[in-house]
Amino acid sequence: MLRELIDQRDWLLADGATGTTFFQMGLEAGDAPELWNTSAPDKVRALHQGFVDAGSDIVLTNSFGGTRYRLKLHNAQDRAYELNKAAAERAREVADACSRPVLVAGSMGPTGEIFAPVGALSHDDGVAAFAEQAAGLKDGGADLLWIETISSEEELRAAVEGAAPTGLPIVTTMSFDTAGRTMMGITPQGFGALTAGLDRVPDAIGANCGVGAAELVATVLGITEARPDAIVVAKGNCGIPQFVDGHIHYSGTPDLMADYARLVRDAGARIIGGCCGTGPEHLVAMRAALEAHIPGQRPEIETVIARLGDVSGLARGEQPGGGHREGRKRRRG
């Protein structure tokens, strides 16, 4: 169904932030939102309904921390299958009640463990954990699996291998939040090349979270440069996080996120949404912007900086030792 919709449309609107929205509903810091799939199902349905009403074509399940390794922090590791199935069921209920097609994407976030050879988690154990999660999401009615916020090649490979037996379409996104790279040093171009060589090539690839909308657009430019053939996802944070009155507040306005949507579409993304801090009001503005948008030229980094804010040196084409990469030099004007 993902391929059918993407063949019919130039772009699809994904949803916004789960955690930020749940905190506004009363989730306490340190609590597992996945437990709400069974203990507070009305709140989970309300999350999805808000995004669907705002125009989202894809909603992600409340299962980001749904592997047994994350759930063990809450003594719920033996409930992994149950909680993931319930997460997909809650989203499915909302999607099926909508008069237009809405896809349910089974969110699969990182385990929180470091994979071998650097860490202790073996490839096989990682694959088994992701497979358990994927099975629950499929059985709950997910249309596709959405592997997100990954930072290492080892975890990406394990997640894709664990998801593949379901036969569902697979989307993979990494978070580029460390000087334009993932925490484990992967560049956007490197990610593009890596995904092309997987035994199970994902149906769509891209970036989520990170350090703001500007860097997300720059990241998409790197991914589409490496994989011009790919369906690319952009799910950027709503501006930059700031502490206001003891709480984290994201600086992005609906107008900024609308401009981000236009720029990232011109950068080559076809599935566009928001991550941390992105609420229904931002998605309404993003959908309106995309519906009215006349496609333009691929944006230059200077244009991204001028309209959305600064980006990393890597995104500007700088090398660690100084200078610029050939082909990504800054241009005047």
Q: State how far Cα 299 lies from the chain centre.
A: 22
Question: How many structural domains comprise the chain?
Answer: 1
- In a domain? residue 183: yes
Per-residue pLDDT of 253-271, as tens digits, reads: 999 999 999 999 999 999 9
The answer to whether 252 touches 224, Cβ cutoff 8 Å, is: no
Count other C-beta atoms under 10 Å from residue 86's C-beta.
25
Show the domain range for 74.
Answer: 2-308
- In a domain? residue 332: no
Model pLDDT, residue 319: 65
- What does the buried/exposed string (b/e) look like for 54-73 if buried means 16 or more CB atoms within 10 Å of the residue's CB? bbbbbbbbbbbbbbbbbbee
- In a domain? residue 325: no
- In a domain? residue 331: no
Mean pLDDT by 10 residues, the chain (333 residues): 94 96 91 97 98 98 98 98 98 98 98 96 98 98 98 98 98 95 96 96 97 95 96 93 73 94 98 96 98 96 95 84 40 29
